[in-house]
Amino acid sequence: TKVHVLNGPNLNLLGAREPGVYGSGTLDDLRRRCEPAAAAAGVDLDFRQSNHEGELVDWVHEAGRDAAAGVTLGAVLNLGAYTHTSIALRDAVSGAGLPAIEVHLSNVHAREPFRDHSHLAPVAIGVVAGLGPDGYAYAIDALARRREHSTR
């Protein structure tokens, strides 16, 4: 079993990109922050990043198939700006039946008004924002706990 962590556009620039907003850690550092959470849940970490909406749609479908087969806990999704714009990614999550937790490094609600709305949130289990890389670990833990509760 694994857990999917899918990162959207511009997150490959972490470390160099607006460090005042996103911190100085790189995408690799973020992956390393997720590893102990996945290990604690006893699952493999499938950590990816893409700048392409269609590729993210494909990955959501793939994760949804894995969820149906019971080989993933679900997905932690930081869709970056696609959170605020992409009906296609929202439809992919609901269409694939993928258990997903929306995550943002920054507190999107304390920034520009256009970041306040999420197309994804209504089809997500929950949302974590503003807690930096720790938020990813909390979301992985939440997916693991959700599985424990469902098998009790």
Residues annotated as catalytic (active site), given as ranges = 22, 104
- Note every long-range contact of 69-73, with CB atoms under 8 Å and residues 24 or more positions apart, other chains counting: 70/1, 71/1, 71/2, 72/1, 72/2, 72/3, 72/4, 72/43, 72/46, 73/1, 73/2, 73/3, 73/41, 73/43, 73/99, 73/140, 73/143, 73/144, 73/146, 73/147
26 touches ligand DQA by CB under 6 A: no
39 touches ligand DQA by CB under 6 A: no
- Would the annotation count 115 as a binding residue? yes
Residues touching ligand DQA, count (CB under 6 A): 10
By CB under 6 A, what part of segment 66-85 binds ligand DQA? Answer: 78, 80-81, 83
Q: Which is nearer to ligand DQA, 72 or 118 (CB)?
A: 118
- Would the annotation count 12 as a binding residue? no
Among 37, 96, 98, 108, binds ligand DQA (CB under 6 A): 108
Among 104, 118, 128, 144, binds ligand DQA (CB under 6 A): 104
86 touches ligand DQA by CB under 6 A: no
Closest CB to ligand DQA: residue number: 80
Query: How far is Cα 102 from Cα 120, in angstroms, rounded to an integer?
Result: 7
Residue 97 CB neighbour total at 10 angstroms: 12
How does strand 2-7 pair with strand 44-49? parallel
Cα 43 to Cα 4, 35, 67, 144, distances in angstroms: 10, 9, 13, 9
33 touches ligand DQA by CB under 6 A: no
- Would the annotation count 105 as a binding residue? yes
- Summarize as ranges the residues that interact with ligand DQA (CB under 6 A): 10, 78, 80-81, 83, 104-106, 108, 115
